Every structure is written in structure tokens, then in C-alpha cells.
Amino acid sequence: MRLLRHGLLTGPILGALWSLVVATTVAVAMSLFTGDAFRPTLWGGLLAGVALGLGCLRFGGRQRLVVPLAVALGLLALSAVAGIGALEIGEGSAPLAAWTGRVATLGFTGLGLWLILEELRPGTITRHEFEEAVIRFLTGFGYIFFTAIVLIPFYVMVMTSLKNQAELMANPLDFTIDLSQGAELFRSYSELMTEYSFGRYLWTSFYVSVLTVLITLAFAIPGAYAVARLRFRGQALFSRSILLIYMVPMIVLALPIYIAFSMTGLRNTIFGIVLIYPVTTIPVALYMLQGYFRGLPAEIEEAGLMDGLSRLKVIWQITLPLSLPALASVSLYVFMIAWNEFLLAFMLLDDPSKYTLTRGIASLNSSEVPRQHLMAGSVIATVPIMVLFLGLERFMTKGLTAGSVKG
């Protein structure tokens, strides 16, 4: 390790690694955006990385942007003329795409290294400086890595829904969209809405989720208040068993529920679904709410009691208004669970006129339905929950941390 702590070694090594990371990222991004053949090269990447890594070192301790800029321009010329560079560009790529790729690779490599190798001089460096540089490298890598793995599946989902089967089979990487098609672009969506009655599924999912939220709250608020505030025998046992119930896997319960519903004729009814969803969410909601109620100062409620309010009035007039943010979080979280629920809907609903959205998507998963329909269905299910989530992110995050150890 000590040997590594020399600017002339740390710089090129981090440079080489960073260059490979950037080249791979740019290659993947360009491939997915244009459909042309881009690929990172090992030796070209190493060469560019080492050169830029050396160029970005702070010679004489001063910041001179000239050196790395000159190195970068040299490398750009090399890749354009001789074709030696971190990025190998396939024949037949559009010149604009090719140049964007080259410039982006060198630009991001250079910019990243300039930041990573901040204050790194050629010569022995301290452990502190060395580790800081490594951490800056890892941070940069982390941002790229996480953003890529999160975005790529969603990008593929949206873009696939806008294309047709033949185009997809021809070049699975070509996600370019022919904007001149206009409204034709959304053909999958309109077909889903008209032929596959996804409009109805959306509505069913929506009102089932809202009903689930309302019923859950109606049960969980009094229960949570009792567990959090009132003293009674068995209180401790109770708060534990909530958590325990919350751990019983749905598939274990789904079996007897399926049997019971088959025998009573509740299978294939929305009523049955509305009956069963809240029960899966009540323990979660109870657990989240009781945590919040415990955090409220008891003195305010006691003041209310002293002034002659009954307990129920205290809950209604004092506790609930104070816990509106928590109620919002819980509602959102429960809504999300109900909206995304798949297992019960899949097992209990067979009649296409009663499908929820997730069940509807599951029914699209057959070889007769083109896959852009499947993806369009997925987008239809994802967008509302995302919009809700981004719009109310503050509540959502709080809700998630408060009780959502459940998956």
C-alpha cells in the first residue's frame, strides 16, 4: 500500500480505472441511445487513462488546466485519426454520434480525473490524500453505477412500449424513436385502453387501493392509539405480536384464503379483494402509527382530558390533527402496497372484467400478445405510483423509514 502512495503511481492507476469506467458507461449509453456499435477497448482505455491521469496531477502544486486539456486534445486527435482510443466505434455509425462518443469519453474522463486527483502532486503523498483520492474515485463510480442500474430497466421499459415487435427483434439495442410517427408512437397504449380494457383495470386498481387505505386507517388508528397510549394488561405482548403477524408470509395465508373464498363464492369478486387487502396492511399501518403516536407529547392529550374531553374526542380533536403527516405517510405506503399487490389478485381473480391492473398485466404475459403491450401495461401501472411518489416524496420517505421493513 505504501508503495502506491506516490502521485506518479496513484494518478495513472486511478486514471486507468476511471477511464475504463467512463468508456464503458459512454459505450453503453451511446449504444442504448443510438443503436450503433460502440464498445470500450481495454488498451486504448488504459492508454488514455494513464495519460490523463498523469496530465491531471498538480505539477508544482499549482492548478494548470492547460496540461490536461492538451493531453485530451492529443488523445482526441489520436482516436479520430488513428482510431486508437478508449472507445471503439463501429463502421457505419453516424459521424455526429461518433464524435459525441469520443468527446464525451475524453471529456468525462478528463473532468472526472481533474476532480479526483485534486491536490495530488507527483511525488510521495500522505495516506490522507491517497485515501481521499480513492474515495473520490469510488464516489464517482458509485453515482454512475447506481444511476445506471436503476435507470436502464426503466428506460428499456418505456422505450420498448413505444416500438414494435419487428423493430425490437431486428436490433435489440436500437431504442431510437421515430418522432415523425406522431400519435402512432402511442399505439400500444391506445390498444391497451380500447381492446384490453386497461382503463377499467386502472379504475379498479384505483378504487380498490383507496378503499384499502380508508379501511386500513379506520382499523389501525384506534388500534395504534390503544397500543401506544393506553395502559392495559398485555400491551407489551401486543406490540410484539403486531410485528410477528407482519412477518407471516402471504403465500402461507393465500392458500386457505383461496380455499375459503372458493367455497363461499368470494373468489372473483372485487368485494373479496377489498375484504382481504386491508388485513394485509393493517399490521403495517398499526406498527407505523403506534411508533408515531408514542412520539407525540402525552401532555397535550392530558390537557385535553383535564378540560373535560373524552378519550375519543381527544383522539379526534388533538391526536389526529397532530399526526396528519404520519397519516399521509401511512396512507401513501398502504396505497402503494395495494396498488402493487400481485399475489392475491393473481390467485383470486380469474374474470377479466374484475381484474386489477397488476392482474391485467399478468394476463398480457402470453406469446399471443406483443411485448410492447406488456411494457406499455407496465408503464401504465408504474407511472401513477411514481408521480404520487415524486410529488409526495417527503411523506413517502418518512413512511418508508417508519415502518416499511416489510417488502
Partner 1 sequence: MTDATPPTGTGPLAKREARLAWGLLFPTLAAVSLVVILPLLAVFWISFKPVTLADLRPPTPIVREDIRGDLEAPGDAATLRYRLRNSSQDQPIRGVTLSDAWPDGLEAGELDPACAIADGRLGCDFGDWEGGQRVTLQIPVTATETYLAGPPATDSPPAMTGSATNVLTSFDFTAENFVRVFDGDEFWSVLGVTLFYTIFGTLGALIMGLFAAMLLNKSFKGQGILRGLYLFPYVAPVIAVAFAWILLFDPFSGSANALLLQMGVTSQAINFFGERPLALIMVTLFEIWRYFPLSFLFILARMQSIDHDMYEAADMDGASPFQKFWYLSLPQLLGILSVLFLLRFIWTFNKFDDIFLLTGGNAGTRVLTVNVYEQAFALSNIGAGAAVAVVIFCCLLLFSVFFFRVMSREEGL
Q: Which of 70, 77, 251, 300 binds partner 1 (CB under 8 A)?
A: 251
With helix as H, strand as E and coil as C, how does the chain read? Answer: CHHHCEHHHHHHHHHHHHHHHHHHHHHHHHHHHHCCCEEECHHHHHHHHHHHHHHCCCHHHCCCCHHHHHHHHHHHHHHHHCCCCCEEECCCCCHHHHHHHHHHHHHHHHHHHHHHCCCCCCCECCHHHHHHHHHHHHHHHHHHHHHHHHHHHHHHHHHHHCCCHHHHHHCCCCCCCCHHHHHHHHHHHHHHHHCCCHHHHHHHHHHHHHHHHHHHHHHHHHHHHHHHHCCCCCHHHHHHHHHHHCCCCHHHHHHHHHHHHHHHCCCCCHHHHHHHHHHHHHHHHHHHHHHHHHHCCHHHHHHHHHCCCCHHHHHHHHHHHHCHHHHHHHHHHHHHHHHHCCHHHHHHCCCHHHCCHHHHHHHHCCCCCCHHHHHHHHHHHHHHHHHHHHHCHHHHHHHHHHHCCCC
Closest contact distance (angstroms) between CB of 407 and partner 1 is 5
Is the CB of 180 or the CB of 366 nearer to partner 1? 366
From 36-44, 66-74, 91-99, 101-109, span contacting partner 1 (CB under 8 A)? 36-44
Using the rule CB under 8 A, is 273 a contact of partner 1? no
Whole-number minimum distance, CB 116 to partner 1, in Å? 14
User: If you search the block for the grid coordinates 486507468, which residue do you land on?
Assistant: 16
Looking at the DSSP bridge assignments, the partners of residue 85 are: none
Closer by beta carbon to partner 1, 54 or else 376:
376
- Nearer to partner 1 by Cβ, of 67 and 193: the residue is 193
Task: State which amino acid sits at residue 313.
Answer: K
C-beta of 192 vs 282, nearer to partner 1: 282
Task: Name which of residues 179 to 218 contact partner 1 (CB under 8 A).
Answer: 218
Among the listed ranges 47-55, 63-71, 185-193, 256-264, the one in contact with partner 1 (CB under 8 A) is 256-264
Beta bridge partners of 88: 39
Rule CB under 8 A: choose which of 80, 104, 168, 322 binds partner 1: 168
Site for partner 1 in 114-153 (CB under 8 A): 127-128, 131-132, 135, 139, 142-143, 146-147, 149-153
Q: Does 336 bind partner 1 (CB under 8 A)?
A: yes
Q: How far is the CB of 302 from partner 1 (least distance, A)?
A: 13
Residue number with CB closer to partner 1 (151 or 298): 151
Q: Which position among 226, 273, 330, 349 is part of the footprint of partner 1 (CB under 8 A)?
A: 226
Q: Which is nearer to partner 1, 55 or 102 (CB)?
A: 102
- Cα-Cα-Cα-Cα torsion 168, 171, 172, 176, nearest 10 degrees, comes to -80
Query: Is 17 a binder of partner 1 (CB under 8 A)?
Result: no
| 4 lines the binding site for partner 1 (CB under 8 A) | no
Using CB under 8 A as the binding rule, whether residue 65 contacts partner 1 is answered as no
Residues 92-111 that bind partner 1 (CB under 8 A): none
**CB nearer to partner 1: pick between 251 and 303:** 251
Using CB under 8 A as the binding rule, whether residue 348 contacts partner 1 is answered as no
| Candidate list 193, 222, 269, 270; residue touching partner 1; CB under 8 A | 222
| Segment contacting partner 1 by CB under 8 A, of 6-14, 62-70, 103-111, 339-347 | 339-347
> Interacting stretch for partner 1, rule CB under 8 A, among 69-77, 113-121, 154-162, 295-303?
154-162
Closest CA to 67 of 4, 17, 11, 27: 11
Q: Does 178 bind partner 1 (CB under 8 A)?
A: no
When the beta carbons of 71 and 359 are compared against partner 1, the nearer one is 359
- How many of the chain's residues bind partner 1 (CB under 8 A)? 107
* Closest distance of CB 11 from partner 1, Å: 18
Angle at 337 between CA 330 and CA 220, to 5 degrees: 40
